[in-house]
Amino acid sequence: MAREVRDVVLVDAARTPFGKAGPGGMYAQTRADDMVVAVIRDLVRRNPNLPVERIDDVAVAATTQIGDQGLTLGRTAGLLAGLPRSVPGFSVDRMCAGAMTAVTTMAASIGFGAYDLALAGGVEHMGRHPMGEGIDPNPRLLAERLVDPEALLMGNTAENLHDRFPQLTKARADEYALRSQEKTAKAYADGVIQPDLVPVATRSTELGWGLATADEPPRPGTTLEGLAGLRTPFRPHGNVTAGNSAGLNDGATGAVLAAEQVADELGLSKKARLVSFAFAGVEPEVMGVGPIPATTKALAKAGLAIEDIGMFEINEAFAVQVLAFLDHFAIADDDARVNPYGGAIAVGHPLASSGVRLMAYLARSFQAHPEVRYGLTTMCIGLGMGGTVIWENPSYDGKDA
């Protein structure tokens, strides 16, 4: 039987406010799976035309799949959120690109015709489960030099990028980081970010119950002088600091995906239309360059050039990896198309959840810029990978900028 490939749309995306990891963070005593439940429930609330009994699957990613981030999160979170018991679910792990992979996996199933509607997202509670907790790497990885030892510490891979590309100076990284903070502050002031934030009840034995309504990590008072004075923990006299990197964070994200004709049939919104996606591998010790080959592959699959992309959402794990991407594609450091609402350096990067945060930001850019037809979301991935998803703007008015 011949199958027709169907267009897939992003119906909606939402997230919890992101918190600082650790005992002082706002989610220190909040369970990871409860954050996912809050997102799923809010997505259902925000989309009253979404028939929950027709959801075909739920994919939830986590990098550290133990404790309250284990036990097949997609299934358990769906049950806890009150989805019908007929709705299945599963877990995903592609480190930082977990939520991105959850989205592309669900989208591929929808495009193939196996599914009509799906939920995809991710969570990381880095305060409860630091990256690498409980792992037991096969000794062959290092003994046979399959992976450079520095590849196991992300900060070292960022320093390696500075070594490989000397033009990517600490000064450029700090300037980029400052712009991320400034753009995030402006986006908050303009009310761009808040509509996609899901309030989450928080618990503290000292303070009692609270409500998380805004991101905890942003530092709106950041200055270049302050950034220049930060220590370089990964290397003496290095380039990577807490100021030009994303922090350790807690948070969850979620998205509703649908076949476009199903979205039309049900009267669901269409915030972005999937065009293509690609993942690529690179040397693990310079994992920050991963978005470059992933984007090259995704563009080729779509029959597009980098010049066709009108909006970029690049995950800011480290400023240097964003700069490497921009230099490769001859894009200016301060190009207005890049992360217009700021990024992970300001709001945080709860590992497996961040892919959907990028998509939510891109959807907001699409809404604000009907003259832009194509945009992309891209991120570097631990152990030497990159992932890119190219999207089309459903609000495109045919008038090129």
Write the pLDDT tens digit of every residue in 308-358.
999 999 999 999 999 999 999 999 999 999 999 999 999 999 999 999 999
369 given a catalytic annotation: no
Q: Name the helix (H) or strand (E) containing 160.
A: helix 154-164
349 given a catalytic annotation: yes
Give the span between the Cα atoms of 376 and 393, in whole angstroms. Answer: 10
125 given a catalytic annotation: no
Give the span between the Cα atoms of 294 and 300, in whole angstroms. Answer: 10
**Catalytic one among 125, 162, 369, 380?**
380
Give the span between the Cα atoms of 212 and 217, in whole angstroms. Answer: 12
* Closest CA relative to residue 204, chosen from 292, 127, 308: 127
Q: What HEC string does 11-32 produce?
A: EEEEECCCEECCCCCCCCCCCH
**Catalytic one among 125, 129, 162, 349?**
349
Evaluate whether 188 touches 197 at the Cβ level (below 8 Å).
no
**Catalytic one among 96, 125, 129, 162?**
96
Q: With a threshold of 0.85, does the pTM exceed it? A: yes
Give the span between the Cα atoms of 122 and 193, in whole angstroms. Answer: 18
Per-residue pLDDT of the chain (401 residues; tens, 9 = 90+): 667 889 999 999 999 999 999 999 999 999 999 999 999 999 999 999 999 999 999 999 999 999 999 999 999 999 999 999 999 999 999 999 999 999 999 999 999 999 999 999 999 999 999 988 888 889 998 888 888 888 878 999 999 999 999 999 999 999 999 999 999 999 999 999 999 999 999 988 888 899 999 999 999 999 999 999 999 999 999 999 999 999 999 999 999 999 999 999 999 999 999 999 999 999 999 999 999 999 999 999 999 999 999 999 999 999 999 999 999 999 999 999 999 999 999 999 999 999 999 999 999 999 999 999 999 999 999 999 999 999 999 999 887 65
Q: Is 179 left (phi over 0), alpha (psi -120 to 50) or beta?
A: alpha
Q: Which domains does the chain have, with CATH numbers?
A: 8-129+246-392 (3.40.47.10)
